[in-house]
């Protein structure tokens, strides 16, 4: 029986009011549209996928620890809100402030309430030239243009490229890739609308986030491009698949607040309530992307049915990046490979492979060369520890991986590589046994060994074994890096 991985295309029950569209906040659509409606409570347990809450599998438990507060609650959090902390009056405007001084007007626009504003940008001034290459010439130097000639190489240095483009790596790289595939002409995309859309996407990433920012999105987009060029995909994917894959990569963490889902749940944040504690951030990223698509009218020239279908497929890709559903997707992928029944002539199978490619691109940092991988490790650890500091300040339970006193960057990376990255990329290597896959696995092994050496230098050559803090748990569970 064929398994369909695409979201169903549902008609809107009524038009979205104009005053809602003008707010740029795609969250508001949830009350007026079946597209943006919250999930049926009866489906929530199914959306947890293959992650069993009574499983003794250490990989599943590790993933659950990262993505679900129920597994690690010490104070009786209820995921539906009962018994949760009352909503905390945390000033999210100052999450990334080093001092307690007044917050500037520009920084006040970056609220965790996810209200978005169109910032003035030099990229929006003036009318672009007719030739898209001329647009690119205006905004980055010859060195950056030379780098784009090697954009398909796995050692592409996104940090250097971002500096050379004056912080506009996401806009320029995504535009270049879409233009290189000829998608502007093929889909008759208005060049000005596309440029405006990409600028708004880039500015809706929070630049003060150490990790979840526009540079991460650009890095994921570049990795996605490398995967789209793999022989199996290159000869099978349609132009629509490629367009969706690149747009999903560019927007997959849009408007990320720099804190994780368990933080939003235990602080009783309204987004957690809106999405009923299920794929909270991923749902928000998707709806934010759709909000920008609609505001810029990028797909307004397409038939309404086609535009709505593309929005749903974009959502299906972004929702697949939810770490709490890792085993669900990995299990399906492994089953398909074992049974040798992935047929890329089938649209639903191609979409599933795009989901897996985006999942790989999203967590590919440990598979990059050490010089790049280490920088990403430092950034994500900084973001984790910053969240932990906020939790301590407000007397919340500190989330796993977020306590700088009990965790080290090396142990965090070893745990993530062992329980999340290695299983995923091993299966991707089975699907696409190419030079790129071998290169990624090679870097992964070397990087893990490097982190292992650092652990030994720190005097803790093995992770700590702890019990889950529930009375009914009797077997030890490896909770890295607690």
Asked whether the CA dihedral 35, 36, 42, 45 is positive or negative, the reply is positive
* Cis amide prior to 288 (ω within 30 degrees): no
Collapse the DSSP code of 466 into the 3-class scheme (helix H, G, I; strand E, B; otherwise coil) and give the result.
strand
d(C-alpha 49, C-alpha 68), whole Å: 13
The residues, ordered by sequence, that sit 6+ positions from 309 with a Cβ below 8 Å of its Cβ are 9
**Share of the chain residues as helix, strand and coil, in percent rounded to the nearest 5:** 55, 0, 45
- Cα dist from 31 to 115, 198, 275, 284, 418, whole Å: 17, 27, 11, 14, 41
- The 10 Å CB-count burial string (b at 16+, else e) for 438-460 is ebbbebbeebbeebbeebeeeee
Collapse the DSSP code of 477 into the 3-class scheme (helix H, G, I; strand E, B; otherwise coil) and give the result.
strand
The CA-CA-CA angle for residues 104, 27, 267, to 5°, reads: 70
d(C-alpha 298, C-alpha 296), whole Å: 5
- Residue 248, token pair as written in the block: 């999903």
The residues, ordered by sequence, that sit 6+ positions from 457 with a Cβ below 8 Å of its Cβ are none
Known binder of ligand: residue 241?
no
Known binder of ligand: residue 212?
yes
Kindly report the number of other CB atoms within 10 A of residue 289's CB atom: 25
Annotated active-site residue in 19, 96, 206, 212: 212
Known binder of ligand: residue 413?
yes
Known binder of ligand: residue 252?
yes
* Cis amide prior to 481 (ω within 30 degrees): yes
Known binder of ligand: residue 362?
yes
User: Residues 435, 429: contact at Cβ < 8 Å?
Assistant: no
Known binder of ligand: residue 253?
yes
User: Residues 132, 122: contact at Cβ < 8 Å?
Assistant: no
Backbone angles phi, psi at 17, to 5 degrees: -60, 145
Would you give the DSSP letter of residue 92?
G
Q: Could you confirm whether 212 is annotated as catalytic?
A: yes
The residues, ordered by sequence, that sit 6+ positions from 235 with a Cβ below 8 Å of its Cβ are none
Annotated binding site for AMP: 212-216, 253, 362, 413
Annotated binding site for Zn(2+): 216, 252-253, 362
Active-site amino acid positions: 212
């Amino acid at each position: 029986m064929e398994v369909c991985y695409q979201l169903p295309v549902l008609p809107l029950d009524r038009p979205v009011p104009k005053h809602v569209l003008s707010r740029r906040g795609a969250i508001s659509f949830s009350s007026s549209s079946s597209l943006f409606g919250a999930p049926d409570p009866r489906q929530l347990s199914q959306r947890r996928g293959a992650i069993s809450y009574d499983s003794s599998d250490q990989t599943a438990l590790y993933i659950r620890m990262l993505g679900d507060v129920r597994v690690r609650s010490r104070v009786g959090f209820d995921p539906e809100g009962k018994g949760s902390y009352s909503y905390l009056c945390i000033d999210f405007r100052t999450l990334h402030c080093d001092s307690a001084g007044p917050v500037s007007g520009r920084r006040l626009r970056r609220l965790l309430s996810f209200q978005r504003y169109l910032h003035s940008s030099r990229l929006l001034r003036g009318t672009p030239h007719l030739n898209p290459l001329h647009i690119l010439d205006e905004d980055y130097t010859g060195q950056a243009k030379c780098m784009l000639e090697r954009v398909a190489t796995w050692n592409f240095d996104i940090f250097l490229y971002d500096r050379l483009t004056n912080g506009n790596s996401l806009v320029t790289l995504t535009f270049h890739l879409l233009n290189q595939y000829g998608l502007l002409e093929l889909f008759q995309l208005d060049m000005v609308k596309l440029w405006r859309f990409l600028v708004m996407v880039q500015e809706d990433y929070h630049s003060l986030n150490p990790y979840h920012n526009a540079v991460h999105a650009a890095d994921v987009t570049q990795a996605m491009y490398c995967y789209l060029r793999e022989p199996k995909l290159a000869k099978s994917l349609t132009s629509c698949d490629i367009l969706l894959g690149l747009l999903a990569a560019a927007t997959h963490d849009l408007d990320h607040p720099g804190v994780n889902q368990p933080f939003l749940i235990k602080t009783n944040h309204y987004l957690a309530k809106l999405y009923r504690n299920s794929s909270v951030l991923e749902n928000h990223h998707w709806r934010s992307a759709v909000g920008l698509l609609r505001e810029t009218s990028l797909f307004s020239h397409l038939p309404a049915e086609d535009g709505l279908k593309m929005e749903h497929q974009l959502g299906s890709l972004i929702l697949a990046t939810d770490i709490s559903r890792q085993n669900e997707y990995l299990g399906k992928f492994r089953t398909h490979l074992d049974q040798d029944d992935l047929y890329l002539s089938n649209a639903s199978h191609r979409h599933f492979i795009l989901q897996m490619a985006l999942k790989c691109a999203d967590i590919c940092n440990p598979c990059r060369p050490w010089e790049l991988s280490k920088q990403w490790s430092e950034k994500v650890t900084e973001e984790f520890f910053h969240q932990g500091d906020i939790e301590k300040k407000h007397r919340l339970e500190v989330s796993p991986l977020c306590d700088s006193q009990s965790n080290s960057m090396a142990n965090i990376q070893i745990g993530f590589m062992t329980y999340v990255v290695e299983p995923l990329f091993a299966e991707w290597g089975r699907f696409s046994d190419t030079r790129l896959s071998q290169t990624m696995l090679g870097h992964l092994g070397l990087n893990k060994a490097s982190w292992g050496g650092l652990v030994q230098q720190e005097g803790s050559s093995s992770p700590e074994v702890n019990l889950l803090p529930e009375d009914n748990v009797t077997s030890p569970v490896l909770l890295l890096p607690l």
